[in-house]
Amino acid sequence: MVWKDIDSKSAELNTLKKLLRDSNSEKQKQLIKRDLTALENGDESEKENAYYLNFYFDDRKRSILLHDIRIEHNGKTAQFDHILIAPIGITLLESKSFKGKLTISEDNSLSVDYGKFIKTFPNPIEQNNRHAKLLKGFIDDKFDLSSRFKLMGGVSIESYVIIHPATTVTNNKLPDGFERSDSFSTRWNKHIDKMSMGKFFLKSITLMSETMVKDIAKQLISAHKPINFDYTQKYKITKSSDKSPIAEQISNSKEILDTEFCPRCNEGKLVKRKRKSKKFGNQYSSDEFFGCNRFPKCKYTQEC
């Protein structure tokens, strides 16, 4: 059963789109575009990975699937992409998706070749281990576990990194702890089927009842503290973000044609300026002219 879907990112996406429209700085626009693209791609891939998990686990009555859970406990924070709560224990799933070619190193760190550059990422397995430790402490504090759970060290928690099926992976075989999101459920079942008698016996000691599975899910949903990043604080938009000393003088004292965009760059506004040099003599009928307020990046001029 799916009890919680992914939180909507529409507010943050809309904020970034508005900032992109309002910004007058090319450098700032590029940074905003980078954040917008990353947020859109991350949101899309996480939803697609969730779709594959939902397809299999939505009708599993004794298992509960939670997406996008963020909890704070004892001064620490953990963001879980997906949490599967089943009678045999809890499985944490970290979603990964890349446009470039992914290589998983021997130490489980990641490197992605985007063609023009290579970007590296820390070991996601270790991140999952830290999250599992926080979740274990959370459950221990929230629940009065029976002696059989305490004897076995608490509720069983495992973790996997699930990779979007469209991601190109250079490894011939995925290392332990990594699975494709579209095949995770099949591998998860095989993992249980192939469990040794000794491990199955140990798992059976901490087998959770349906009520306990639901109670843990309820506690996690109740403790969920979503956080929306305020991009307006990161990107301060002014009337002119490219203020050179010349542009500062222009914007502070000259008339701006708010209804007319610069015909050359289509981004700046035309502002009225005064010629400070007399060297042109009678070349112009007026000592005033209109110029783009993005000067010196755009040097368009127009006679009044």
pLDDT digits (tens, 9 = 90+) for 194-206: 655 666 566 667 7
**DSSP assignment of the chain, as one string?**
-EEE-PPP-HHHHHHHHHHHHH---HHHHHHHHHHHHHHHHHHHHHHHHHHHHHHHHTT-TT-EEEEEEEEEETTEEEEEEEEEEETTEEEEEEEE--SSEEEE-TTS-EEEE-SS-EEEE--HHHHHHHHHHHHHHHHHHHS---HHHHHTTSS-EEEEEEE-TTSEE-SSSPPTTEEETTTHHHHHHHHHHT--HHHHHHHHHTPPPHHHHHHHHHHHHHH-------HHHHS---S-SS--HHHHHHHHHS-EEEEEE-TTTSSSEEEEEE----TTTTSSS-SEEEEETTTTT---EEE-
Rounded Cα distance between 154 and 146, Å, is 9
| Distance from C-alpha of 198 to C-alpha of 137, rounded to nearest angstrom | 26
Q: Which residues contact 279 (CB under 8 A, 6 or more apart)?
A: none
Give the C-alpha separation, 52 to 46, whole Å. Answer: 10
Taking CA atoms, 269 is separated from 133, 244, 259, 272, in Å, by 55, 15, 8, 10
What digits encode the pLDDT tens for the residues 148-201?
Answer: 888 878 888 999 999 999 999 999 999 999 999 988 887 776 666 565 566 656
Q: For the segment 16-27, what is each residue's pLDDT rounded down to a tens digit?
A: 999 999 988 888
Q: Could you tell me if 89 and 135 are in contact, meaning their C-beta atoms sit under 8 angstroms apart?
A: no
Rounded to an integer, the average pLDDT of 216-238 is: 89
Mean pLDDT, all residues of the chain: 83
Give yes or no for residue 244 having a pLDDT over 50. no
Distances in Å between the alpha carbon of 270 and those of 143, 216, 276, 281, 288?
A: 66, 61, 18, 24, 12
Domain limits, the chain: 2-232, 245-303
End-to-end CA distance of the chain: give it in Å, rounded: 69
pTM over 0.75: no
pLDDT of residue 230 exceeding 90: no
Q: Please identify which residue in the block is written with the tokens 């406990």.
A: 73
